[in-house]
Chain A
Amino acid sequence: MYGGGNIFEKPENEIQEDPVKLAEFEARILAGEKIEPTDWMPKEYRKQLIRMIEQHAHSEIIGALPEGTWITRAPGFRRKLALMAKVQDEVGHAQLLYSAAETLGKPREEMINDLISGKSKYSNVFNYPAVTWADTAVIAWLIDAGAIINQVANSKGSYGPYCRALERICQEESFHLKYGHDNVVFLATGTPKQRQMVQEALNRWWPPIMHFFGPSDKISVHTETLMRWKVKMASNDDMRQKFLDMYVPKIWDLGLTIPDPKLRKNEETGVWEYTEPDWNEFKRVINGDGPCNAERLAVRKMAEEKGKWVREALLNRNEMYSVPLS
């Protein structure tokens, strides 16, 4: 689901690359060709891609937790089945993305270690709890909607294995979006109590949704090189605008209120205006201080530890790890 709000590192002082190879590489990307794992690539390209795809994979697997919480308490059997299918999809997305990142040379065990130790990040929105059933509806609709905007853009990027994984993922996301929308519509057109529930969930999730695409271009790390290399496909603010344009009218259609008095579309410029999200809170939460960070990582750690004996029982120590091909 969730590739939003990637945090890129400031590029290190220009690593010296072979100028001829670099020129060939850039020409290839400019011509719309894909880069494959065994192709020559700049060190910085490899590093930033590993970082981005790994963050995306972690987001899928951690994103399954707030929704997974509600499987046992989903209202009715059909919703329970649908939510299980969605959560299974998300875990499958993680697996596809870990494989894509592995092709660049970082084994999956290392990625998961870095997730659990807090070294790697994942989408900030999953550090917030799904307090009621309505929260899962808002997540499945609007967070997945944001993820789709991000993933569709990224699927046109330059790295072959990542694009192929995203194509598969996007197919499944269309079910998540419809499922989430259906749940929100059901509550919003229901009893006053149901309406109140979904409104409260929207109030809780609006700030994280506005954070989802990452810090405003005005304050985020410059990413010109990454955009030229088609690692980053659209600016954070552009994706946020696209999201607002597509979904605010749909939210208003349901008679729900978005908790931002400044939110409106400037009819002259066509640009959405809004209260600037609190980027200090964003930084604070992404660095470990959100309401659920500790729980998310501890649960992930428990899963790896408790599954260890099963994996060990099946392990043949004579085997060798190989980097997946594509």
Chain B
Amino acid sequence: MPIKSIDPRITRANIEIQNKETSKENKVLEKLDHWQTYEVFAQNKRGEHYSHVGSLHAPNPEMAWILAKEQFGRRNKITGIWITKTSDIFSVTENEEEMFELNSEKIYREAGGYKVMDRINKFKKENKKISEK
């Protein structure tokens, strides 16, 4: 029996109601039916870095770009979009946190690791003594 809806378009579409029992088995979509995934990067303002804003499904890079523009550039102003296949992104996920631990002993590569004022003051003091003599 086709659906009678208060929406005349749906009534006209003549859709059959699914049988509740058989619909349980019914797989409308198969693997890859919604294509592969892409990651989207956007620039919010000229001069800023591009940053990751989300992901989407698309059949090719051109479509991914169009969909990304609609999804991530429709409501907020952005100035650019990059997309790339998710599978092309290399990342290491094991023990990530530990890997990025900073080594606080390497103060020789910090600006704060260099203190010269003590030496300068000492030097000035000694110089003064010499010139006074």
Interface on A for B, CB 8 Å cutoff? 38, 69, 72, 88-89, 92, 95-96, 99, 102, 107-110, 112-113, 116-119, 129-131, 164-165, 171-172, 288, 294-295, 297-299, 301-302, 304-305, 308, 311, 314-317, 319-326
Contacts and interface: CB of A to CB of B under 8 A. Distances in A.
B114 to A, nearest CB: 34
B30 interface: yes
Nearest to B27: A113
Given A102-B55, A295-B3, A298-B15, 19 more contacts: A89-B75, A95-B56, A112-B29, A113-B26, A116-B26, A117-B24, A118-B24, A294-B17, A294-B18, A297-B23, A298-B17, A299-B3, A299-B10, A304-B29, A319-B35, A321-B37, A322-B37, A324-B37, A325-B52
B17 A109 contact: no
A323 B27 contact: no
Interface size class on chain B is 35 or more
A319 B76 CA distance: 31
Contacts of A322: 36-37, 85-87
Given A99-B55, A299-B10, A314-B63, A38 B3 contact: no
A86 to B, nearest CB: 12
Interface string B69-91: 01100111000000001110101
Contact of B31 (A69, A99, A107, A298): A107
A110 B16 CA distance: 22
Given A38-B93, A72-B9, A314-B35, A96 B54 contact: yes
Main secondary structure of the interface of B (DSSP, over half): loop
A147 B108 CA distance: 53
A165 B72 CA distance: 11
B18 A298 contact: yes
B71 A95 contact: yes
A122 to B, nearest CB: 15
Interface of B: 3, 5-7, 9-10, 13, 15-18, 20, 23-37, 39, 52, 54-57, 59-60, 63, 70-71, 74-76, 85-87, 89, 91, 93, 96
A116 B23 contact: yes
16 contacts: A69-B5, A69-B10, A92-B71, A92-B74, A102-B55, A113-B29, A117-B24, A131-B6, A164-B54, A295-B10, A298-B18, A314-B59, A319-B32, A322-B37, A322-B86, A326-B52
Contacts of A298: 3, 15-18
Contact of B18 (A108, A301, A325): A301
B27 to A, nearest CB: 5
A324 B55 contact: yes
Contacts of A311: 33-35, 59
A252 B89 CA distance: 54
Nearest to A297: B18
Most buried by B among A165, A311, A314, A322: A322
Nearest to A38: B93
A301 B27 CA distance: 10
B107 to A, nearest CB: 28
A162 B16 CA distance: 35
Given A72-B9, A116-B26, A319 B36 contact: yes
